[in-house]
Chains A and B, each alone.
Chain A
Amino acid sequence: MPEVLAVDQYTPRLVRVTITWVLTALVLFPVLAILGLLMRTLQAGYMAAVPPEWFYAVMTLHGLGMVGLWFVAGMAGISVLLARYVRPTIAVSWIAFGATLAGVLLLVAATLVGRLGVGWYFLYPLPFHSGGTWPGWATAFLFAALAIMGVGWTLWAGDLLWAIARRYRLTDALGWQYLRGGGTPEVPPIVIIATVSFIGVLAGLVAAVVVLALVAAEQMTTGFTNDALLIKNLTFYFGHMLVNITMYFGVAMVYEVMPAYTGRPWKSNALVAASWNLVLLLVMFAYLHHLYMDFAQPQWLQVTGQLASYLISVPAAIVTIFSTLMLVHGSDMKWKLPSLMLYLGVMGWAIGGVAAVIDSTVMVNSRFHNTLWVPAHFHTYYVMGVVLMILGTVFHLAGELSKISESAASTRAIVSTVAVGGYGFLLMFYLAGVAGVPRRYASYPAEAAQGIVYAKLSLLFIALLLVGALVYIWETGRRCVRSLA
């Protein structure tokens, strides 16, 4: 077994910052989810008096907020789990927390006051061509928020990688000793996945820095114009990386927490090491599938995007999914709320992953691009995938710290409402996507009237999902508060 560090005075300080992150996430999660509910309400044809620019402002806050929220929740979860093996700097986590709060405030002002409606990917040059819908300061706030959060997250990811570096050699942290046929030093899977993830995060954040530098150069100088295709490549390199890595955080949590319920250890081996090293290589190119519609992109890059998108599903998803099944099969499995959420999360990751691979096929993408199939697949591996993995881990940790025992009734209520509500909500997206209903429409014209029906039905499922989420938040929140006391 990998050597585990002892509990010392470091631990309560780490718990405090982690619980602060968790409580913040538990407050933001339902707020951002209600913004999603509001979007589907508008698409269902209700609240017709609300102008469409509000839909896009809400869409921007919902998208950026959810991507950022689950990224930081994943980082916080990974930090606390990694602390069994390495010692991240707690002050850096607090700095990242402050930067995130400042960024969130700026984003809220830009969207809900300034009505900035650029979407989570703020695709250049849209932020600078508002057509009078949002003022210039809202665009400035957006980029300021990204810059502040970017600095905070870079420090955080850098510190976590530094913490790993202080204990392991790079080749060991990447598990190359297993590829060479050896087994020492023994490195837990979470360290391998975290190393891959933090390298990816930092690469993505460097791409964001390049975007910000290019945009600033254009705004502050004369005669310098940016290439929209270059900015789009860099933006999706950053955005796709951040979203993908958030999922890997969730998977790392499954590797670390699931054995507590199966009673079997989940050890690193050559397969785990090979798969995550391959992920590190392929994740650098998978973002290219976001640019299939950009005809100016050279064809060989489009082919690379499709190949990378296909291949990346093998090491990360297939290996993890089959390993999870093997871990659970025949074990003395304790089906508690955390293990159920982790298991459902892996299932959601698999389903969303298949839908993503379908959409990453060039021929299919030419039909599905910008239909509701796209939010269908990313909501699947987010809401029913990584979010469940993170929430399951948080409940596991909160339960361990608070010593409050789990209620079977609330577990049943949470799992059943989240599963039925979640998959019902997603099914409406998938069916609408197959019917060709476009995404990002504030209201549907006659040609896409089916979208109204699907949006109305989805409201019921979202309400059910929210009920489950609120029960979870209550149960977890009181455990977190008890842990602080």
Chain B
Amino acid sequence: MRTLARLIGALALLVCTSVAYAADRTLPPDEDRFLNVPLPNIPLTTAAGERTDVAGVSGGHPLLLALVFTRCAGVCSPFLFSWRAADRWVPQREPVARLVLSFDPRDTTDDMAEFARHLGVSHDRSWTFGVAAPDDVRRLADAVGFWYDWDPSRQQFDHPAMLAAARHGRVIRLFVGTAIPSARLDELTREAAGEFVASYPLPGRSTFRCVQYDPRTGRVSLDWGSALLLVPVVAIVLTTGVMFRRARRVRPFYRLPSSSS
């Protein structure tokens, strides 16, 4: 009986854990939890066959990192193409290292070299494609909040599309999405280079906003919410005025003779 109870307990725990695990997988990585987290300096082999590590690829420069797999029938290739396309529009202020690492243990350096050729960056020294030991890749992925699960029914990995920006070996910013616009990539690159990049909420999310920001022009303008800041002043001016006028009528005997008029 006790064994059965333990078994039920263990199964319940397993179910709960699985549910929680599955629930986590439905959400994109939460950037706030990973900011300033050190990137593990894992060893890797580049598509050219060179053995190096993450710090070696970075070379002291800001690092942009994407985790992909070459047999992906989904988002990997479109995401990398959107990155490549956006990259052409981003002004190059200082050298940036770009690392595309496979999380599929089946991928070889040749697969990654073919991927780089397909993307048209095989001769671009700022782009590094590579593979690494599965455990090392898992550590790196965990550090930036990237997750991947093998789906045997589809024979594909389930995973988000994500770009992580790092500076001095620490996570600075994450971008999650199927395609990266040039404006976002520019912000990511600037922030990775140490520049302060302001963030702003999506328009139309709150009714009373103090200011509105136009990301195209960079202009900040006052919005209706700022009118609420005047409420205390207007309310107290009116209240004080009414109070003192009314008090003179209610208790005129309280005033000193010299103050009456």
A365 vs chain B, min Cβ distance (A): 15
Report the Cα distance A451→B4, complex, angstroms: 55
The residue in chain A whose Cβ has the minimal distance to the Cβ of B239 is A202
Interface residues of B in 204-261 (CB under 8 A from A): 205-211, 213, 220, 222, 225-226, 228-229, 231-233, 235-236, 239-241, 243-244, 246-248, 250-251, 254-256, 258-259, 261
With CB as the reference atom, state the residue of chain B lying closest to A284. B233
**A27: min CB distance to chain B, Å:** 33
Residues of A within 8 A of B241 (CB): 170
B200 within 8 A of A: yes
Contact among B207, B235, B247 with A206 in the assembled complex (CB-CB below 8 Å)? B235
User: Is B23 at the interface (CB under 8 A from chain A)?
Assistant: no
Tell whether, in the assembled complex, residue B208 and residue A227 are in contact, meaning their CB atoms are under 8 Å apart: yes
B22 located at the interface, meaning its Cβ lies under 8 Å from any Cβ of chain A in the complex: no
**A172 in contact (CB, < 8 A):** yes
A74 interface residue (CB < 8 Å to B): no
> A224 → chain B, closest Cβ, in Å?
6
Given contact pairs A165-B244, A296-B200, A298-B220, A230 touches B250 in the complex (Cβ within 8 A): no
B198 within 8 Å of A (CB atoms): yes
Check B256–A226 contact: CB distance below 8 A. no
Report the interface size for chain A: residues with CB under 8 A from the other chain. 38
Determine if B258 and A185 form an interchain contact, defined as CB atoms under 8 angstroms apart: yes
Q: Report how far A185 CA is from B247 CA in the complex, Å.
A: 17
A367 within 8 A of B: no
A165 with B225: CB separation less than 8 A:
no
Within 8 A of B (CB), among A165-186: 165-170, 172-173, 184-185
Contacts of A161 in B (CB 8 A): 240, 243
Task: Give the CA-CA distance A298 to B211 in the complex, in Å.
Answer: 8
List of B residues within 8 angstroms of A206 by Cβ: 231-232, 235-236
Whether the pair B251, A166 counts as a contact (CB closer than 8 A) is yes
| In the complex, chain B residues whose CB is within 8 Å of the CB of A234 | 228-229
The interface residues of chain A, by DSSP majority, are classed as helix
Contact B211 A296 (CB under 8 A): yes
Closest to B204 in A: A225
Task: Assess the B240–A227 pair: CB atoms within 8 A.
Answer: no
Q: Is A203 an interface residue (CB 8 A)?
A: yes
- Chain B residue numbers with a CB within 8 Å of A225 are 205-207
Contact between B258 and A230, CB atoms less than 8 A apart: no
Asked, given contacts A169-B244, A229-B211, A296-B220, whether A199 binds B259 with beta carbons under 8 Å apart, the answer is no
| Interface presence of A237 (CB below 8 A) | yes
In the assembled complex, the CB of A20 is this many whole angstroms from the nearest CB of chain B, namely 26
How distant is the Cα of A295 from the Cα of B199 in the complex, in angstroms?
9
Q: How far is the CA of A297 from the CA of B241 in the complex (A)?
A: 32
Interface flags, A208-250, vs B, CB<8A=1, else 0: 0010001000000000111101100110010000000000000
Contact B210 A199 (CB under 8 A): no
Q: Can you list 23 pairs linking A and B with CB atoms under 8 Å apart?
A: A86-B254, A87-B254, A165-B243, A166-B247, A166-B250, A168-B255, A168-B259, A185-B256, A202-B239, A203-B233, A204-B232, A206-B232, A210-B228, A210-B231, A224-B206, A230-B225, A230-B226, A233-B210, A233-B229, A237-B232, A296-B211, A298-B211, A298-B222
Additional A-B contact list (12), CB under 8 Å, known A86-B254, A204-B232: A167-B255, A199-B240, A202-B236, A203-B232, A207-B232, A214-B228, A224-B207, A227-B206, A234-B229, A237-B229, A297-B210, A298-B222
Q: Name A's B-contacting residues (CB within 8 A).
A: 3, 86-87, 158, 161-162, 165-170, 172-173, 184-185, 199, 202-204, 206-207, 210, 214, 224-227, 229-230, 233-234, 237, 284, 295-298
